[in-house]
Each structure stands twice: as C-alpha cells, then as structure tokens.
Structure 1
Amino acid sequence: FASTASEFGVVAERVSRAKPAMIEVNISCPNVASEFGRPFALEATSAARAVEAVQANTRLPIVAKLSPNANNICDIARAVEEAGADAVSAVNTLGPGMIIDIHSAKPILCNKTGGISGPALRPIALRCVYDIYKAVDLPIIGIGGIDSGEAAIAMIMAGARAVGIGSGIYYRGIDVFSSVCKEIQEFMDHGGYSRIDEMIGIAHEKEARNQK
C-alpha cells in the first residue's frame, strides 16, 4: 500500500525489479495507524489513479485489491477495470473492528483496531464477488474466510476464477491448501464436473433460470 498515487507507482517500479508473476495493488489496507490505503479503496477516482500509477511503472499484470467497506464495490471495480487492472481480488478485511482482552482491560492489537477476517467475513466476501462478477469482465480472485473446499467452491460459483487462503491457515494449519484442493476434487467427482471452469459463475446461471 502507499499514501499517494505516485507512491504506488514508485513501489511498483521497485517491486518489478524482483520479477514477480504479478503485482497486487492493496488500495484497501485497514491495518495501519494512519489512513493509508483507505481513501483509494472507497472512492472510484482515487482507486483508478492508484492503478494508473502502478500501470505506468510496470509491465506486470496488476491485481487491484478491493474493500468491502466501499459504498458500492461495483463502482470501484469498474473504475480499476477502466484504469487498466488485469484482475481484482475481493475482498480485503472488513472494519476496522476491535477485540478487548478482559484480563488486561485493553485492546489486544497494538493499533487498537484491525480488519475483520476469517469465517465472519465470508458471507460478505461472497456477496461482493457475486456482484463484481456481474459488473466487470475482469478475472476475480475470491478471498475472505476460505477454509474449506466448500467455501472455495461457493466463491468460484459466485464468479471467482481463483481463491486465496489466509486465515484458513490459522484454523486448519499449513495443510489447508492441499486439503482444500482435495475437497474441491471430491466435490467435482461427485457432482460430475470435469473442470473448474464449469463451476465459475454457475450461481448466476441458476438464478437466471429460476427467474424465468
């Protein structure tokens, strides 16, 4: 993340030297003491400027990380698409929230507040991915509370082409990655799916059929 659009460009240029596969532009980080990231994630013009600054300083694919705190996340998705993003990741943490240690009588985080992740975020993340899928043509990386094959499949059916796992490591350990892959494969075998592509966005097709 960065505090200005130009800083996003500087960071992108320096990161590009390491030759990563892509750059994720975190325009929505809620876990710092200042307002870094937040203005970019919540306003379409600022989000677009951040992506444009990164695009001007790298030839690598750009993924814009969106915030569930936006009033209309689809507007932000459209803005970063028009600005040149190659994909979006949805969503970052919600909040900020707080947890207090009742034994010490103070917040457990040194910054007092932080983003809400894990299973509590999953239904919100799923709805965001579902809405974004209808709004833009960009590939979506679905993130937010994915800790099982079932959770990953739901995200894919909502429209995600890939999923990310973070807090799932806390709940199931480092083997969560292989476990989720195995659970997805088992579901596909029983459901008659031969490829992941067959499940991407299928929830929209089911909805359309029900409305006829």
Structure 2
Amino acid sequence: MFRKKIMSNLFSSFDPSTSISFSTNWISMVLILLFMPNKFWMSESRNSMTKLIVKNLIMKEMNFIYFNKQFTLNLQTIFMFILTINLMGISPYTFTSTSHLSVSMAIGLPIWISLMTYSWLNFTNLMFSHLLPVSTPPIMSPFMIMVESISNLIRPISLSVRLSANMIAGHLLMTLLGNINEIETIYLISLMQLFLMLFEISVALIQAYVFSILMTM
C-alpha cells in the first residue's frame, strides 16, 4: 500500500487533469504566448533580433536536408513548438505535455507522413537510393534494404517514445530529489536540483533539435 502511494505521488505530475469540470494543465502548451510582449513582433527590436538569429541557425542546419523553404519553415516551427513546451514543463506547477506519447505522436506522425509523401512523389530515385547504404556488399543488399525500410517506418514511433521518455526521466529525478526532506542535506539537495534544472534545460533543447532533425532523415 505504501509503495503504491509513493508511485502515485511520483507520477502525479504527469496527470493532465486537475479537476472534473476543467483541465488547466493543457493551457501550458499555449501559455508562452501570454508572456510575449508587443515588441517581440516588431521588426527592429532586440527580441526580434534574437528570434532572427535562432531562425537563421535552424535554417542553416535544416537546409542541408531540404532545400525547400516551406518544409524548412515547417520544421523550424515544430522545433520552436517542442522547445517551448519542454521549457514550460520545467516551470513549477506546469504540465509537460510532451511527456505523453499521445502528444508526441500527434506531432511526429503527421510530419513524417507529409515528408514521406512529398519525398516519394518528387524524389523517387533519391528515396530508393537511401534504402541502400553506400559500399554495401551485393549479397547484403536485400537485407540492408529491409532493415532501412523497417527503420524508416518506425521512425515516428521511436522519436516520439524518445521524446516522451527523456521528459519523463528528467521530471522523475527532480521529483525524487524534491521528496528528500532531511535538514542536514537541504543544501546538497538544492545544489543538485540546480544542476539538474540546468541539465533539464539542455535536454529540452537537445530533444527538440533531435526530433526535428531526425524526422527528416
């Protein structure tokens, strides 16, 4: 009974509902829009310059994969959306929606279907060539084509599971450290939580980048 109570409290931060009548945790997905000042949308503000720098960096990375600006902008939007949700989930009393597989799959599956449809219709020969790695022995060619096809088919599932698992793991560590209440270890726990918070911020950034880049591979 005691173990079940601990596990219930440990995973309570991933419960999307706060009451029977209204769910407020999902508001964290769009809460960032309330904190954006009007100057953020102006053409010559410091915030817009920061946004432009981030946009150019992402554009430069993704242009190596797709030279189509429409797809690059879509992937850039997905990157910023996932990054915003991950960072909002680190804040106290907020809900990390990307920790739920239904949310990450809802993001990854439509993107993967649209990219595969566009690529196979417009770059058929190139897509066939990607199924066979360079310098593969002829006897291994059928096996490698089958492996590459399977890995391509399960890519949205694997990326969604990776995103959700990393978000869950970091929040569980923070919850476990926060439940240690000994007075003699309060400073040590505070220092560990500070480093873990910085680690969570880096994980949020890396996972958004990895999800956006690997989805196009």
Tell me if TM exceeds 0.5. no
TM-score (norm 1): 0.27
Tell me which protein shows more helix as a share of its residues.
Answer: 2
Whichever structure has more strand as a proportion of its residues is 1
Higher relative contact order structure (alpha carbons within 8 Å, sequence separation ≥ 6): 2
Q: Normalized against structure 2, the TM-score is what?
A: 0.26
